[in-house]
Structure 1
Amino acid sequence: MLDIKKIRKDPDFFKQKLATRGVKAEEIDEVLELDATRRELLKQSESLRAERNTASDKIGEAKKNGEDADEAVKKVRVINADIKELDEKVNANEEEFHDKMSRLPNIPKDEVPVSLTEEGSVELRKVGKIRKFDFEPKHHWDIGENLGILDFDRAHKVSGARFVYYLGLGAQLERAVYNFMLDEHMKDGYTEVLPPYIVKASAMYGTGQYPKFRNSVYRVNGEDMTLIPTAEVPLTNYFSGEVIPAELLPVYVTALTPCYRSEAGAAGRDTRGLIRMHQFNKVEMVKYTRPEDSWDELEKMTANGENILKKLNIPYHVITLTTSDMSFTASMTHDIEMWMPAQNKYREVSSCSNCLDFQARRMHTQYRDEDGNLRYVHTLNGSGLAVGRTVAAILENYQNEDGSVTIPDVLVPYMHGVTKITKENAVPFRNK
């Protein structure tokens, strides 16, 4: 959430910056009008309470002196009724003000490319050599189905579209990928966490999924509990409502979790394969930092995600997203996109974002600086990486003409020595 004091001080700055994210100037004006009304109502309420205290004192004086206090009592009753009416107005105003503030996205950093579409992102670097095939490379879903390690049809029968069964060496490959990722992140100083997969609405609000994206998740137990759309939610909320000891900063945490998303992209887009699923595994990275360190930490986090693709020897590039394409809570986002040969294009596998104090304000997560002042931490999050998408890239980049898939060297120990997936060793169901 943005700081209303800063919006009051320089509304034109916020109108200009948020216009690059599709926010109309009137939305800022509405927030400021509600804020002014709220402060005026509170001022009136405080004045009435002071008046009531004076009248109550007179009642006490009158009773002490044996005098008639009826007029003073009547006055207190009238004041109480006025205070009650004002409090109702304050509560209604607070609710509307809070809702409108909650829907304003974060301020983009000056270096973020301005665009109201996803077009216009800036490529920062390109890494790895794209393989030249001497045959027509197949899509990962065809490779997986031909080998018998991915079954989309039976998943559709059981759960519907955009679900999959991983079978045999396919399931083992997925497990190898996320165990490798976790081990690498632990080497980079992250603490592994196994968090809850179901969270309260307050946690979803804290990281910015609510109220804007309430219809893009799977809710359970009515409105209050939600299946996590990303491990960012439980990881970032770990310190919600707390003052983190300054000596702990920066805090690095990582987790493997399933992720659940009910609206997985535009209709008709990526309806086949592992790219856009309703349920998928992801290794997440989250950081809590001092404000002065967060931009350096964003670059380190992006490098942590890149490290995985470098060791897997999968070509990729890093781009900075446009003002409208980055997440609601981000001030800047670097996307890591891996090369997919069958599509002949790069596809996103990680988004690394600096959210500044935007989430910390919503969660009330602070630390005490050297002068003893309470300050909001900065939070960062990034995929390290989306596991299913990484598996898809492995299948496509390491495919062979005979339909087999070579295992990247770094994953062979995690595959218990298997160096290649073939139709012969991939058969999931065998006679014992």
Structure 2
Amino acid sequence: MIDLRALRENPDVARASQIARGADPAAVDRVLSTDLERRAAVAAADSMRAEQKAFGRTVGQASKEERPALLERGKDLAAQVRAAEAAANTANDALVAAHKAMPNVVQEGAPSGGEQDFVVLEHVGTPPVLDFTPKDHLEIGEGLKAIDTERGAKVSGARFYFLRGVGARLQWAMLNLAMSKAIANGFVPMIPPVLVKPESMDGTGFLGEHNDEVYRLANDDLFLVGTSEVPLAAYHADEILDLTDGPIRYAGWSTCFRREAGSYGKDTRGIIRVHQFEKIEMFSYCRPQDAADEHQRLLGYEREMLDAIEVPYRIIDVAAGDLGTSAARKFDCEAWVPTQQTYRELTSTSNCTTFQARRLSVRYRDEDGRPQIAATLNGTLATTRWLVAILENHQQADGSVRVPEALRPGLGGLEVLEPAL
């Protein structure tokens, strides 16, 4: 949730953020009006309780003759207190609902607009010039006997697949490289649970507008995560962290699940948009004043990994309307895909400021020892989709694939993946 005090003091900032997102600025006024109603209802309930308490002292001092009438009055007061408390609870629920419906306030400098209104910050590397007709990643993967979507669909349905042989080994090499880099940069490696409680999912902002993207196990009231950001954010819920020595950083290795609702007919071929995949996710807790620098640091780690797999990519500043509920700023790294002649997203890194930590009650102590809300950030360090960019950019005319040097140790020194006979 956004800072309610800041919203009261400067609502125009939140209204401008809503406009930049293409969202309704009236949501700000709904929060403010429900806040006023809640404060009035709480004040009324407090006043009624004070009156009841004072009246209780009067009853204790009354004569025997006066007491029956006073007791009746006491019953009326008790009923009024219960009604006032119920009204306060209802008003509080209304405020919580309106408050939770507000997305994070967009960071100054982020472009306004929707999905296509991103700003390209930098191009890194040059798309390969191939002197043959390139194959797409699925055709290459099938030739290597590395990807099997046919049997994936037979076993589990559309948008599922098997990685086999060198396909499985290539993914392991890539994810192990990513985790090794994370550990070298001070991240604590984590293998988190992939089933979480509703409060964990809601606390990170993945319910509400993202609800249709999430798999839910109704019988157990648990959710399958679409990213280990969720369990890593909830890991320190209701805790006070020690950030004296700087940010706390975790790198989560997990299987991720997404329903891909609303993507009917998009990227149905291959493994670009699937229901299940592996991912290494960076997650940081830091002081709010350090969040912008930490965001650049996470982006730097992503760049190191993309440089290691030797693919051309660009960095974009994602527009406000494409940020998602929790993010105040997001940078994507998109790799060149030769057969599509365009760049496709491989990584995202988001600065969620205090939005998630406020919902999850994750705090730290400031220089005066007072608890303050922490900031959270996340970023992808490697994921299954990267195989698309690796296979297509490093393909050779005979159907083989050159292995980027950084991945060779994880493949037993293999320099080239040869088509299977």
Interval containing the TM-score (normalised by the shorter chain)? over 0.9
> Is the alpha carbon distance of 1:219 and 1:166 closer, same or farther for their aligned partners in structure 2, counting shifts above 3 Å?
same
The answer to whether the aligner puts 1:352 opposite 2:363 as a matched pair is no
Residue identity matched to 1:72: L
Moved more, 342-351 or 10-19: 10-19
1:288 is aligned, of 285, 289, 306, to 285
The answer to whether the aligner puts 1:404 opposite 2:406 as a matched pair is no
The answer to whether the aligner puts 1:393 opposite 2:392 as a matched pair is no
The answer to whether the aligner puts 1:212 opposite 2:212 as a matched pair is no
Instruction: Check whether the contact 1:264–1:276 (CA below 8 A) recurs between aligned residues.
Output: no
User: How far is 1:91 from its partner?
Assistant: 2.2
CA–CA distance in structure 2, aligned partners of residues 406 and 259 of structure 1: 28
User: How far is 1:66 from its partner?
Assistant: 4.8
Instruction: Check whether the contact 1:264–1:278 (CA below 8 A) recurs between aligned residues.
Output: no
User: How far is 1:266 from its partner?
Assistant: 2.2
Moved more, 137-146 or 260-269: 260-269
Q: Equivalent residue for 1:228?
A: 225
CA deviation vs aligned residue, 1:324-344 (integer Å, no higher than 9, x gap)? 011211111010111111111
CA–CA distance in structure 2, aligned partners of residues 383 and 150 of structure 1: 22
User: How far is 1:94 from its partner?
Assistant: 2.0
Aligned with 1:119: secondary structure? helix
Aligned with 1:47: secondary structure? helix
> Is the alpha carbon distance of 1:211 and 1:32 closer, same or farther for their aligned partners in structure 2, counting shifts above 3 Å?
same
2:268 is aligned, of 258, 267, 271, to 271
Q: RMSD between aligned alpha carbons? A: 1.5
Q: 1:163-242 to 2 correspondence within 5 Å?
A: 163-222=160-219, 224-242=221-239
User: How far is 1:75 from its partner?
Assistant: 1.6
CA–CA distance in structure 1, aligned partners of residues 248 and 199 of structure 2: 22
Instruction: Check whether the contact 1:123–1:319 (CA below 8 A) recurs between aligned residues.
Output: yes
CA deviation vs aligned residue, 1:278-320 (integer Å, no higher than 9, x gap)? 1011110000111111101100100101100111111111110
CA deviation vs aligned residue, 1:369-402 (integer Å, no higher than 9, x gap)? 11122111110001112x2111111110111111
TM-score for both structures, normalised by structure 2:
0.97
User: How far is 1:206 from its partner?
Assistant: 1.1
CA–CA distance in structure 1, aligned partners of residues 308 and 14 of structure 2: 42
Residue identity matched to 2:329: M
2:256 is aligned, of 259, 265, 268, to 259
CA–CA distance in structure 2, aligned partners of residues 310 and 297 of structure 1: 20
> Is the alpha carbon distance of 1:67 and 1:248 closer, same or farther for their aligned partners in structure 2, counting shifts above 3 Å?
farther
Moved more, 18-27 or 278-287: 18-27
Instruction: Check whether the contact 2:260–2:273 (CA below 8 A) recurs between aligned residues.
Output: no
Aligned with 2:175: secondary structure? helix
User: How far is 1:247 from its partner?
Assistant: 2.4
The answer to whether the aligner puts 1:45 opposite 2:45 as a matched pair is yes
Aligned with 1:96: secondary structure? helix
> Is the alpha carbon distance of 1:265 and 1:134 closer, same or farther for their aligned partners in structure 2, counting shifts above 3 Å?
farther
User: How far is 1:264 from its partner?
Assistant: 5.0
Q: Equivalent residue for 1:413?
A: 409
Instruction: Check whether the contact 2:243–2:286 (CA below 8 A) recurs between aligned residues.
Output: no
Q: 1:153-172 to 2 correspondence within 5 Å?
A: 153-172=150-169
User: How far is 1:41 from its partner?
Assistant: 0.8
Moved more, 34-43 or 14-23: 14-23
User: How far is 1:204 from its partner?
Assistant: 0.5
CA–CA distance in structure 2, aligned partners of residues 42 and 264 of structure 1: 41
Aligned with 1:382: secondary structure? strand
Residue identity matched to 1:380: L
CA–CA distance in structure 2, aligned partners of residues 255 and 28 of structure 1: 35
Residue identity matched to 1:97: L
User: How far is 1:72 from its partner?
Assistant: 2.1
Q: Equivalent residue for 1:109?
A: 107
Report sequence identity in percent: 35
Unaligned runs of 5+ in 1: 428-432
Aligned with 2:235: secondary structure? helix
User: How far is 1:193 from its partner?
Assistant: 0.7
Aligned with 1:145: secondary structure? helix
CA–CA distance in structure 2, aligned partners of residues 275 and 219 of structure 1: 23
TM-score for both structures, normalised by structure 1:
0.94
User: How far is 1:356 from its partner?
Assistant: 0.7
Q: Equivalent residue for 1:331?
A: 328
Residue identity matched to 2:276: Q
CA–CA distance in structure 2, aligned partners of residues 246 and 353 of structure 1: 20
CA–CA distance in structure 1, aligned partners of residues 302 and 387 of structure 2: 15
Q: 1:10-89 to 2 correspondence within 5 Å?
A: 10-62=10-62, 66=64, 68-89=66-87
Q: Equivalent residue for 1:430?
A: none
CA–CA distance in structure 2, aligned partners of residues 6 and 74 of structure 1: 46
Aligned with 1:20: secondary structure? helix
CA deviation vs aligned residue, 1:146-178 (integer Å, no higher than 9, x gap)? 222111011111111111001111111111110
Aligned with 1:353: secondary structure? strand
Aligned with 1:346: secondary structure? strand
Structure 1 segments (4+ residues) deviating >6 Å:
none
The answer to whether the aligner puts 1:127 opposite 2:124 as a matched pair is yes
CA–CA distance in structure 1, aligned partners of residues 287 and 360 of structure 2: 16
Residue identity matched to 1:48: M
CA–CA distance in structure 1, aligned partners of residues 327 and 169 of structure 2: 34
CA–CA distance in structure 2, aligned partners of residues 38 and 257 of structure 1: 41
CA–CA distance in structure 1, aligned partners of residues 259 and 410 of structure 2: 32
Instruction: Check whether the contact 1:264–1:277 (CA below 8 A) recurs between aligned residues.
Output: no
CA–CA distance in structure 1, aligned partners of residues 321 and 419 of structure 2: 45
Residue identity matched to 1:414: G
User: How far is 1:223 from its partner?
Assistant: 7.1
Aligned length: 421
